[in-house]
Amino acid sequence: MHYVSTRGHTAQQNFSEILLGGLAPDGGLYLPQSYPQVSDDELTAWRQLSYADLALALLTKFATDIAPADLAAITAKTYVAGVYCNARPDDDASRITPLRILEEHDGRTLILQALSNGPTLAFKDMAMQLLGNLFEYTLARQDAELNIFGATSGDTGSAAEYAMRGKKGIRVFMLSPHHKMSAFQAAQMFSLQDPNIFNVAVDGVFDDCQDMVKAVSNDLEFKKRQKIGTVNSINWVRVVAQVVYYFRGYLSATTSNEQKVSFTVPSGNFGNICAGHIARMMGLPIDKLVVATNENDVLDEFFRTGVYRVRKSAETWHTTSPSMDISKASNFERFIYDLLGRDAVRVAALFKKVDTEGGFDLSGKPGSDGDEFKQIARFGFESGKSVHADRLATIRQVEKKYGITVDTHTADGIKVALEHLQQGVPMIVLETALPAKFNETILEALGRDAERPAGFEHIEALPQRFDVMSTDVAAMKSYIAQHTGL
């Protein structure tokens, strides 16, 4: 299996070669040359598989340059019940991403698929845990080391740290805005005592942290000498790992391959739902893929109008579903590539226009950049939006009707899913975080605290290990050099 760039760079790369990298050299994103297809017989056989074996069956199609026995060891180690042990007491943790039927009557079926039972209580663990094990394996074979350097406002940074902690050949340097994360999120990251994890709390906001990462990464000589890498959401392995739970969800919700299901996905950078698109392109019988956004509705606007208009920082709202607060969707280019019939020249032109003019228009209206908006239905995409008042109402309604508490992002998903629910097609909403992570809003909605999984009761009281730094790029560089010894 070879990988190509959405902007046309064709030096064919295999899976291991793009594993540690980010963007393609031409600024595009990697995708497989063609999507492997899943046959009816395979799908039937996969109904019996454990999550780890299903992950192996799918990854074997994409990672053709890794020995199958090695891949089997990696997936077996990654997808074990002990790692995804934070399931609700009456959910089956051994299923890794257990389904819970919320409602089933008159042919209307609403299902929740729990993706947030991993160590950091958010769905990013599903992919990051695999990435950690694949990194360790690949680095050991190359006798190499890697220093991951990034900025986080919460979920990504902690998922990366929990995936990389204690891994040989890897260090993590993670910047976060000092005193800006929730107490729970800060405690999760800062309580890690592993010597290969370095938390740096920056006196500033998240954008300042990101600017520091950019400034350091632009020093190519430093980056090379210090073996700096990233784990951001455009990483192909993260996307492919997410394809697995769409298959698991479909296979668990159906008994025959004649049946279809739809998915609703709380979306920000379009990474999660991009994996759903790929599963559908591989032949998984998905009817609709419903994008749910919050007040930051870049994607909802596109799927309603065909106009992609990225937002400025001043128009990017801080909401109570903060992991969906984006101004542009970094994985969106992968879908646009398929929507344009894989015309890399046009994709390159459109995303250049995003940089220079802030967006593009595929509505087909006079003066637009194309008319592919009318093709969108063929790919199953629909969308909707949910705002703070909707989140509060949904959290209350879900607790009253179904007896469980959901987090704010999942509430956005459920609100939008109910607007797109169709008779005869089960709707699976992906649960992207557990409510304990966003307790402030649970308290506002329900007047009580969210349940905490066992082991998280006193997390804020654990000893914390982090360094505080100003937004000084030179000081950041010497901090890294001092700890890597390179």
Q: Is 267 in the site for ligand PLP (CB under 6 A)?
A: yes
Position of tokens 């990504």?
Answer: 156
Residue 124 is a catalytic residue: yes
Q: Is 124 in the site for ligand PLP (CB under 6 A)?
A: yes
d(CA 113, CA 101): 9
Alpha-carbon radius of gyration of the chain: 21
Least Å distance, CB 219 to ligand PLP, is 28
Binding segment for ligand PLP among 182-190, 268-276, 360-368, 371-379 (CB under 6 A)?
268-276
Q: Is 252 in the site for ligand PLP (CB under 6 A)?
A: no
Using CB under 6 A as the binding rule, the residues of this chain from 304 to 333 that contact ligand PLP are 323-324
Least Å distance, CB 432 to ligand PLP, is 3
Residue pair 282/37 in contact (Cβ under 8 Å)? The answer is yes
Q: Given the residues 77, 124, 168, 365, select the one marked as catalytic.
A: 124
Among 271, 276, 306, 370, binds ligand PLP (CB under 6 A): 271
Q: Which is nearer to ligand PLP, 323 or 439 (CB)?
A: 323
Among 244, 433, 450, 476, binds ligand PLP (CB under 6 A): 433
Quote the tokens at residue 151. Answer: 């900025």
Q: At what angle do helices 124-142 and 155-164 cross, to 10 degrees?
A: 40
Quote the tokens at residue 445. Answer: 């909605």
Quote the tokens at residue 442. Answer: 């649970």
Q: Which is nearer to ligand PLP, 266 or 426 (CB)?
A: 266
Q: Which is nearer to ligand PLP, 249 or 271 (CB)?
A: 271
Residue pair 239/399 in contact (Cβ under 8 Å)? The answer is no
Number of CB atoms found within 10 A of residue 281's CB: 17
Number of CB atoms found within 10 A of residue 327's CB: 15
Q: Is 383 in the site for ligand PLP (CB under 6 A)?
A: no
Start-to-end Cα distance in the chain: 35
Residue pair 411/395 in contact (Cβ under 8 Å)? The answer is yes
d(CA 217, CA 221): 9
Least Å distance, CB 15 to ligand PLP, is 21
- Quote the strand ranges of 106-145, DSSP E: 108-114
Q: Is 266 in the site for ligand PLP (CB under 6 A)?
A: yes
62: amino acid identity, one letter: F
Among 229, 268, 384, 435, binds ligand PLP (CB under 6 A): 268
Among 155, 287, 372, 390, binds ligand PLP (CB under 6 A): 155
Q: Which is nearer to ligand PLP, 28 or 154 (CB)?
A: 154
Give every CB contact of residue 2 below 8 A, 6+ residues apart in sequence. Answer: 12, 13, 14, 32, 33
Q: Is 122 in the site for ligand PLP (CB under 6 A)?
A: yes
Q: Which is nearer to ligand PLP, 196 or 331 (CB)?
A: 331
Residue pair 74/94 in contact (Cβ under 8 Å)? The answer is no
Q: Is 257 in the site for ligand PLP (CB under 6 A)?
A: no
Among 7, 334, 409, 452, binds ligand PLP (CB under 6 A): 409
CA nearest 158: which of 184, 140, 180, 195? 184
CA nearest 112: which of 380, 324, 402? 402
Least Å distance, CB 218 to ligand PLP, is 24
Least Å distance, CB 181 to ligand PLP, is 13
Q: Which is nearer to ligand PLP, 252 or 267 (CB)?
A: 267
Q: Taking the alpha carbons of 418, 422, 424, 427 in that order, is the dihedral positive or negative?
A: negative
Q: Which is nearer to ligand PLP, 122 or 392 (CB)?
A: 122
Using CB under 6 A as the binding rule, the residues of this chain from 223 to 242 that contact ligand PLP are 233
Q: Is 270 in the site for ligand PLP (CB under 6 A)?
A: yes
Q: Which is nearer to ligand PLP, 29 or 433 (CB)?
A: 433
As annotated, the active-site residues are 124
Residues contributing to the site for ligand PLP (CB under 6 A)? 122, 124, 155, 233, 266-272, 323-324, 409, 432-433
